[in-house]
């Protein structure tokens, strides 16, 4: 479902699989080649549902690894707007408060939009809007170690809370929803952000599509 105004690249995989690393690498290198006004990144995490109406004790019970935690309709509308050349206001989500903030990030239309998140390919509408779909295939034990470090250092989580969440939702939801979505990927990248050959192939395909627009 391509549109001349915008190419959407969907990058997915397990939590802490290296999605953000690949997205950042591609973004940085294409910025240098094409100009930063031509490319931008949107994270699926920004589209977690607003929970400001709930008490904190209820917010922390949310299964953030289940598709129902996402405001899919808003994400789809924003992707369609970008495809049509319209700017969008992307929500800002607080991992500490477990809800959206009152702020948004104004995102202007780009020739290339990189969309990264764990549940992207579980939604048929996202798959239809994406011009290239990528699955980052990293062993779960490596993902868990990375997630543990990230959530404690960057998101103020305790060791036990990260372990409990991993056992209760992260691993089961990966097996139920995320791993099966790999079948919809155009490109599967093993070894995450360290796979230089795969990153080069992805960049080459993006530039190929761009030249066809």
Q: 19 a known binding residue?
A: yes
Strand partners, 7: 112
Sign of CA dihedral 188, 126, 72, 193: positive
Q: 18 a known binding residue?
A: yes
Residue whose token pair is 């404690």: 152
Q: 61 a known binding residue?
A: no
Q: 20 a known binding residue?
A: yes
Q: What is the DSSP string of 105-170?
A: EEE---SEEEEE-SSGGGSHHHHHH-SEEEEEE--HHHHHHHHHHHHHHHS---HHHHHHHIIIII
Q: 10 a known binding residue?
A: no
Q: 17 a known binding residue?
A: yes
Q: 16 a known binding residue?
A: yes
Task: Please answer whether residues 6 and 85 qualify as being in contact, where contact means their C-beta atoms are separated by less than 8 angstroms.
Answer: yes
Q: 24 a known binding residue?
A: no
Strand partners, 134: 11, 187
Task: Look up residue 180 and give its two tokens.
Answer: 């099966």
Task: Please answer whether residues 67 and 177 qualify as being in contact, where contact means their C-beta atoms are separated by less than 8 angstroms.
Answer: yes
Task: Please answer whether residues 15 and 170 qualify as being in contact, where contact means their C-beta atoms are separated by less than 8 angstroms.
Answer: yes
Q: Which residues are annotated as a binding site?
A: 13-20
Q: Which residues are annotated as a binding site for ATP?
A: 13-20
């Amino acid at each position: 479902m391509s549109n001349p105004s915008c190419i959407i690249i969907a990058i997915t995989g397990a939590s802490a699989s290296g999605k953000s690393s690949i997205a950042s690498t591609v973004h940085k290198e294409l910025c240098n080649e094409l100009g930063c006004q031509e490319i931008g990144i949107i994270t699926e995490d920004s589209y977690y549902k607003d929970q400001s109406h709930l008490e904190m004790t209820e917010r922390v019970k949310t299964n953030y690894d289940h598709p129902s935690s996402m405001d899919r309709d808003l994400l789809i509308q924003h992707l369609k707007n970008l495809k049509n050349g319209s700017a969008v206001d992307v929500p800002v989500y607080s991992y500490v408060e477990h809800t959206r903030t009152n702020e948004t990030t104004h995102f202007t239309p780009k020739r290339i939009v990189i969309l990264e998140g764990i549940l992207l390919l579980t939604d048929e509408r996202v798959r239809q809007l994406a011009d290239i779909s990528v699955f980052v295939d990293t062993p779960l034990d490596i993902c868990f170690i990375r997630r543990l470090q990230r959530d404690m250092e960057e998101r103020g989580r305790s060791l036990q809370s990260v372990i409990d969440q991993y056992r209760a939702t992260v691993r089961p939801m990966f097996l139920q929803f995320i791993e099966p979505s790999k079948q919809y990927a155009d490109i599967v990248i093993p070894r995450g952000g360290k796979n230089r050959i795969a990153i080069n192939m992805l960049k080459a395909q993006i530039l190929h599509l761009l030249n066809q627009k």
